[in-house]
Structure 1
Amino acid sequence: MVEIPTDRDVHTTRLKVRFYELDPYDHVNHTNYFGYFETARIEYLHEMGFGLVDMKEQGWQLVVVEAHARFLAAARYGEELTIHTWVQETGRVKSEWRQVMTRDGEEIAHLTIVAAFTDLEGRPRRVPEEFAAHMEKLLR
């Protein structure tokens, strides 16, 4: 189990499982969890003022370079899932994000990703100053 921190900003996203996300075993196919987690990260970035379109217009992007997921229980059609997302740490060219998915307060999956900051051609670049300043506030 991953403990959701209380010493930093944690974003919460709620999603409902749709029928087409199920596999032949009547539970959410594992590949869809990555989509759920990505949706939550994008919502969090947007809430922080770093929407994907805005980042692109400014010439930078966050690219997932590493992902580690653990699935603890199956999600099924119609269930409401809650995803808790936070930035664990930010360095000069990458950041580590953690996410926990719960159903009725019970952890069913968690994910750790490393995202690199790149220019639009995919070359590594330093964290944009405005993003670094925002992260510094969140991580205090």
Structure 2
Amino acid sequence: MTDTAPPGPAPVHGFDVRVYYEDTDMAGIVYHANYLKYIERARSDWVREQGLDQNAMRAAGVVFVVRRIECDYLAPARYDDALVVRTQVESMSRVRLVMVQQVVRGDAVLFRARVTAACATLAGRPTRLPEALTP
């Protein structure tokens, strides 16, 4: 199954994040695993903005699953930083969605990831993406 890029540049979704003390490690910088939480929240917000209700999807037996994440930690975020998670669709097929995400502070990119997600049944079998997302 071939992935297709969206026609023209895909819109960028922004999601605001504030760094709290609980997000930081002993050095006072954001603990590495928390970037994955930030980008997950941003993807969930993006899905909601597409008009999809993930609770209704789950009730119908379909969920999104992350298949792969490639990420780079470029610079540290610190307590009380105001961050934005930028999310953009890179490509999609009938069952797979590839998104590029960045965590930024102002103009500085602190973290970037390429996330491959798919739809699956609750039994773990691949299934089609919701119609609202299919190319």
TM-score, with structure 1 as normaliser: 0.86
Moved over 4 A (4+): none
- SS at structure 2 position matched to 1:41: helix
For these two proteins, the number of residue pairs brought into alignment is 128
- SS at structure 2 position matched to 1:130: coil
- SS at structure 1 position matched to 2:133: helix
Task: Write out per-residue CA displacement over residues 55-78 of structure 1, whole angstroms, 9 at most, x where no aligned residue.
Answer: 212321110010011010000000
CA contact (8 A) 1:42 1:51 kept: no
> Which one of 9, 12, 23 corresponds to residue 11 of structure 2?
9
Compute the RMSD of aligned alpha carbons. 1.4
User: Which position in structure 2 is the counterpart of 1:3?
Assistant: none
Pair 1:30 & 2:32 matched: yes
Question: Structure 2, unaligned stretches of length 5 or more?
Answer: 1-7
Instruction: Output the CA distance in 2 between the equivalents of 1:25 and 1:63.
Output: 32
Instruction: Output the CA distance in 2 between the equivalents of 1:112 and 1:36.
Output: 14
Q: Report the structure, 1 or 2, having the larger helix content.
A: 1
Task: Write out per-residue CA displacement over residues 81-117 of structure 1, whole angstroms, 9 at most, x where no aligned residue.
Answer: 0111011111122111110111011111101111121
User: Which position in structure 1 is the counterpart of 2:117?
Assistant: 115
Instruction: Output the CA distance in 2 between the equivalents of 1:89 and 1:58.
Output: 25
Pair 1:70 & 2:72 matched: yes
Pair 1:47 & 2:49 matched: yes
- SS at structure 1 position matched to 2:58: helix
> Which one of 19, 22, 26 corresponds to residue 20 of structure 1?
22
CA contact (8 A) 2:83 2:104 kept: yes
- SS at structure 2 position matched to 1:45: helix
User: Which position in structure 1 is the counterpart of 2:59?
Assistant: 57
